[in-house]
Homo-oligomer: A and B are copies of this chain.
Amino acid sequence: MGNCLVAQSGGPTAVINASLAGVIRANQLNPLYQRVLGGIHGIEGVLAGSLYDLTEVPGDELEILKQTPSSALGTCRYKLKRGQDADFTRLLEVMDEHDVDTFFYIGGNDSMDTVDALSEWAAAAGSSKRFIGIPKTVDNDLVPPDHCPGFPSAAKLANLVCHATKLDYDAYTRPEVFVLETMGRDAGWLAASCCLSGDVDLLVLPEISFQRDEFLACVQQKMDDQGSCYIVVSEGARYADGTYLSAGESANDGFAHAVLGGAALTLKQMIVDAGIAPRGVVQDLSRAARSSNFAQSKVDVTEAYELGLTAHMRSADPAFTAQVVGVKRGRTNAGAYNAEYFAGPAAEFANYVKAFPEDWIRPGYLGVTEEALDYFRPLVAGEPAIIYGSDGMPKTVKPYNLR
């Protein structure tokens, strides 16, 4: 009986640790592997042989791990690329050294591509080592699943902040606009979800080419009609030529993705410069949106945990490799939302971006359709029972990468 390895990659989420807890717990319920080893800082730490034994994490710590935001093993933005044979060889060496035959990788599009590339490489090298993906991304932009763990909690937090800041904005009489910015580089799911709150006047998504004059006319209309305008913008909003609204402030992260920020500030300034409102307030959700521990969606925690369970359980089949697990939307007998689990080829999860559907977008920046709201509603419903410390704060585990 060999060991398994589990690691986390990409941007943290509110529930990525619940998937980790699922893998650990599944192996306690059915010890398919002798040890469950955590790779510290994703593939970067694994290449360096930096592992942490998670096999016997006790049940009460697992419950707290499920409600701990961010990536408890640490994360990385290092991407294994096809052709980097030295990295591939080194990875298999580390796995051999630690008697690891199965690697669970929790991450987004890029990490699912890593799962695919590693599986291919291992097969070509005649190795029996297996690579299995567990998805996460607050961007919700993976193609096969109905939605991605991390997104529902991010949507819940975005809605909470949206409603609270709308109430704050509504308390004033002075003319000003409010602009809330959410994450969402290539897809507007998170920004669009804010419409659930019923508070969004205008919505600016990456899926629709931004047109300055049309947008400003819409803002003017709202100010004329109601004396206020609450706007939500996705960080990835862009002009027809692909230039981001936030273009002035872009930098670069390790994956050669543009690092965005400032779309809300740009819109506010545009509105003030056009003389439509003398001032505006900007709220950028930034990092707080993706890894909060005070707005977890119960559905999200449960699904993230069960995706960890199902990935481990399906790996009992020795042929289970190059696969990623995911959630489909099913129905209960009473017609309510019901999560169903499936697995599919990693290649289908990798390198595609699922845009927010154009036919769910109302014209004139007027938000989303009822169909879109029906999609979002069950994802944010319900509250997990949080375990608090005596200090009144939700308990969190000390990250394994810092132990």
Question: In the complex, which residues 138-171 of chain A have their Cβ closer than 8 Å to any Cβ of chain B?
Answer: 156, 159-161, 163-165, 167-171
B168 in contact with A70 (CB, 8 Å): yes
- Taken residue by residue from 368 to 403, chain A's Cβ proximity to chain B (1 for < 8 Å, 0 otherwise) reads as 000000000100111100101011111010010110
Q: How far is the CA of A12 from the CA of B281 in the complex (A)?
A: 14
Does A391 contact B383, Cβ atoms closer than 8 Å?
no
Q: Which residues of B contact A292 (CB under 8 A)?
A: 160-161, 164
The answer to whether B291 and A294 touch across the interface, beta carbons within 8 angstroms, is no
Q: How many identical subunits does the complex contain?
A: 2
Beta-carbon contact of B68 and A393 below 8 Å: no
Is there an interface contact between B297 and A174, defined as CB atoms closer than 8 Å?
no
Partner of A396, one of B12, B163, B288: B163
Q: In the complex, are the beta carbons of A70 and B286 less than 8 A apart?
A: no
Residue A196 at the chain B interface, CB threshold 8 Å: yes
Q: Which residues of B contact A291 (CB under 8 A)?
A: 164-165, 167-168
**Distance to closest chain B CB from A393 (angstroms):** 6
Contact of B392 with A381 in the complex, beta carbons under 8 Å: yes
Tell me the complex Cα distance, A287–B163, Å: 12
Q: Decide if B173 touches A76 in the complex (CB within 8 Å).
A: yes
Taking a contact as CB atoms under 8 Å apart, the answer to whether B168 and A12 are in contact is yes
Q: Is A295 an interface residue (CB 8 A)?
A: yes
With contacts A286-B281, A383-B388, A390-B381 known, is A254 near B174, CB below 8 A?
A: yes
In the complex, what residues of B have CB within 8 A of residue A390's CB?
A: 381
Contact with B along A173-193 (1 / 0, CB 8 A): 110000000000000000000
Cα separation A67 to B248 with both chains bound (whole Å): 40
Task: Determine if B297 and A392 form an interchain contact, defined as CB atoms under 8 angstroms apart.
Answer: yes
In the complex, which residue of chain B has the Cβ closest to the Cβ of A78?
A: B173
Bound-state Cα–Cα, A390 to B196, Å: 13
CB <8 Å contact, A159 and B393: yes
CA distance A402 to B170 in the complex (A): 8
Size category, A interface: 35 or more
Given known pairs A74-B170, A75-B172, A171-B401, the reply for A283 and B288 (CB within 8 Å) is yes
Q: Determine whether A293 belongs to the interface, using a CB cutoff of 8 Å to chain B.
A: yes
Q: Are A75 and B167 in contact (CB under 8 A)?
A: no
Contact B402 A392 (CB under 8 A): no
Known: A160-B294, A297-B392, A391-B381. A168 touches B76 (CB 8 A): no
Of B159, B167, B174, B401, the residue contacting A68 (CB under 8 A) is B167
Contact partner, A164, options B74, B288, B377, Cβ 8 Å: B288
In the complex, whether A323 has a CB less than 8 A from a CB of chain B is: no
Say whether A251 faces chain B, with CB atoms less than 8 Å apart: yes
* Most chain B CB inside 10 Å of its own CB: which residue of A76, A196, A392: A392
Q: When chains A and B are docked, how far (Å) is the Cα of A284 from the Cα of B173?
A: 24
Contact of A171 among B71, B197, B383 (CB under 8 A): B71
Q: Which residues of B contact A108 (CB under 8 A)?
A: none
CB contacts under 8 Å to B, within A307-343, are none
A167, B12: Cβ atoms under 8 Å? Answer: yes
Tell which of A41, A68, A169, A287 has the most Cβ of chain B within 10 Å.
A287
The contact sample of 11 A-B pairs, CB cut-off 8 A, is A12-B171, A69-B167, A71-B171, A74-B170, A77-B174, A164-B288, A165-B287, A165-B291, A281-B287, A283-B284, A284-B286
**Across chains A and B, which 3 residue pairs bring their CB atoms closest together, nearest first?**
A70-B167, A381-B392, A71-B171
